[in-house]
Amino acid sequence: MVAKMVAFPGRIGSLVRTAAGVSALAITGQLTMVAAIPVLTRLYSPDDFGIFTIYLSIVNILGSIAALRFGSSLYIVADRLHARVAIKLALFAVCATTCIVLAAGYLLSGLAPEQLRHIAYLVPVGMIGVGFADVLNCWCLRFDHIREFGRGRLILPASMALLQVGFGLVHLGGNAMIAAHILSQAVLIAYLGSRVLRWDDVRGIAQAPWQAVVSTARREYKFPLFELPSALAGFAIINLPAILIGSLFGTAFAGQFGVAARLVTGPVSLIALPLSNVFVPEASKSHGPQHLLRTAHGLLLVAAGLIVVPVLALGLVAPYLVVPILGQSWMPAGQIMTALAFMGAAQALSTPVQEVPTLLRRQELRLVVDLARALLVFAPLLIGAHLGWNPLEVIYFMAAGGTIGFTLGIVAALLLLNGEAASERTRNNRTATLTDAFEGAPSELSLPIVKNRRGRA
């Protein structure tokens, strides 16, 4: 028991150091984006930011479901051979769903506002990039390519920020922000593909029989059935508010919301996501439910100390810092940051354990939690707008619902881990009881020998 207690802090320390390595690279990338914001706010108007925020929100939502969540099945494959079949299924799903979105965009583009019609043709390009990158990230986590995964967290934001600044300096227009996002995704895919896929992997993926792909799709039906709507709800919570705010209050206010959300959720991307990313390979090593429960507790404590306090402090001082840094026209962004701080803190605690239902094959529970969280976010947003509240009041109301929703996710994950750990303890106690009973009973072979000796006596 003492050995286990000593090993536990050491293991948590190892995980934290691994997460810190990922975070250090992600911090560099995110700092590049944050440092670029004061420059970008002077190169692009709030309307430009609003259009880019709406585009990015749509792409993030569609990209998260482009692979029909078959990418997550890589976390539980037995070996590299099965992983090649799974990744072929995921990549095929990305291509198929992108074609559907392209056709839908062509048919429905006339219904969009005139200033947004052109993004109907850019969304599928961004979607396929996000989908491919997400699948490759799942491969990285499954096969412990944490270093390459971390470098990807640096490459994507840094390249996008640098391209957006460069395009802005040569006055390519507001659409240059979208072009920079698409090009940065291409850079990330090229890097990950060349670093984590060996030549025999590429050959194995290409030669994987379609019959095996179809069989994998049938066997892993829970991912599109439960994970797909769950992921859709989860990403909608993060990205759909910007779209709704743009439609309700205009693209300029959507731009204000987009900048505020980027600054508040930065610590989540920097620290909480790396904690989740190291938790997944740790769970894949099959240490047992009790170990996973202790690991989850340790990661939650780390997230509370490193993220929650800074995010709440940022929300408190944001209204006083935004105008000197970004300019007078961005004052609403500081007030929005205050509103989003509590929801960001709850999201930071929820993120390290967000994959627990998937890892325990309880995708249906994750779906229920994510749908409840979506309802808690969007109902206040729509109700407040319907009642005629001003935008800031609506956002405060929405953030309160989101805080409750993310708290539900934390509770559900811990209840699942507690239940699995309790079951494991029960099994171990039964095994120990049976072992003691077996060792204490006389053996079957010795009984007749004793009787024979008594008979002779």
Q: Is residue 151 part of a domain?
A: yes
The pLDDT of 301-310, averaged and rounded, is 84
The H helix count followed by the E strand count for the chain is 20, 0
Cβ–Cβ under 8 Å, residues 40 and 164? yes
Is there a domain that residue 232 lies in?
yes
**Candidate from 88-102, 251-265, 294-308, 424-438 with smallest mean pLDDT:** 424-438
For residue 122, the tally of other CB atoms under 10 A from its CB is: 18
What pLDDT, on the 0 to 100 scale, is given for residue 438?
A: 60
Query: What's the rounded mean pLDDT across residues 169-181?
Result: 87
Question: What pLDDT shows up at residue 35?
Answer: 81
Question: What's the rounded Cα separation, in Å, for the pair 290 and 419?
Answer: 10
pLDDT at 87: 94
Cβ neighbors of 250 (< 8 A, separation 6 or more) are 50
Task: Provide the CB-side half-sphere exposure for 34 (13 A, CA).
Answer: 18
Q: Give me the pLDDT at residue 454, please.
A: 46
Does a structural domain hold residue 391? yes
Instruction: Give yes or no for residue 241 having a pLDDT over 90.
Output: no
Q: Assess if residue 206 is contained within a domain.
A: yes
How many whole angstroms separate alpha carbon 415 and alpha carbon 307? 23
Between 39 and 26, the more confident residue is 39
3-state helix, strand, coil in the chain (%, to 5): 90, 0, 10
Residue 128 has pLDDT above 90, yes or no: yes
Q: Yes or no: say if 40 and 165 are a contact pair by the CB < 8 Å rule.
A: yes
- Between 420 and 98, the higher pLDDT residue: 98
Average pLDDT over residues 397-414: 90
- What confidence score (pLDDT) does residue 445 get? 43
Residue-range definition of the domain harbouring residue 360? 2-451
Q: How confident is the model at residue 234 (pLDDT cuts 50, 70, 90)?
A: confident
- Helix axis angle for 309-326 and 331-350, nearest 10°, is 160
pLDDT at 150 over 90: no
What is the tens place of the pLDDT at every residue in 51-108? 898 899 899 889 888 999 898 888 888 888 999 999 999 999 999 999 999 998 888 8
> Does residue 456 belong to any structural domain of this protein?
no
Per the prediction, the chain carries an average pLDDT of 81
Report the share of the chain in percent with pLDDT over 70: 84
Q: What is the pTM of this model?
A: 0.67
Three-state secondary structure readout of 207-223 = HCCHHHHHHHHHHCCHH
For residue 253, pLDDT beyond 50: yes
Q: Quick one: pLDDT at residue 434?
A: 66
pLDDT bucket at 10, cuts 50 / 70 / 90: low
* Residue 135 CA, distance from chain mean position: 12
Output the pLDDT for position 226. 78
Which of 231, 314, 188, 249 shows the shortest CA–CA distance to 53? 249
Residue 298 forms part of a structural domain: yes
At residue 135 the predicted structure's pLDDT band, cuts being 50, 70 and 90, is very high
- pLDDT band per the 50, 70, 90 thresholds, residue 446: very low
Indicate whether 219 belongs to any domain: yes
Residue with tokens 């659409």: 175
**Based on the structure, what is the number of domains in the chain?**
1
Q: Which of 202, 176, 212, 171 is nearest to 85 (CA)?
A: 212
In this prediction, residues 142-163 reach a mean pLDDT of 87
- pLDDT over 90 for what percent of the chain? 25
Does residue 179 register a pLDDT over 80?
A: yes
In a domain, 457, yes or no: no
Q: How far apart are CA 69 and CA 358, in angstroms?
A: 11
- Mean pLDDT, range 181-193, rounded to an integer: 95
Does 237 have pLDDT greater than 60? yes
436 versus 322: the higher-pLDDT residue is 322
What is the arithmetic mean of pLDDT over 265-272? 70
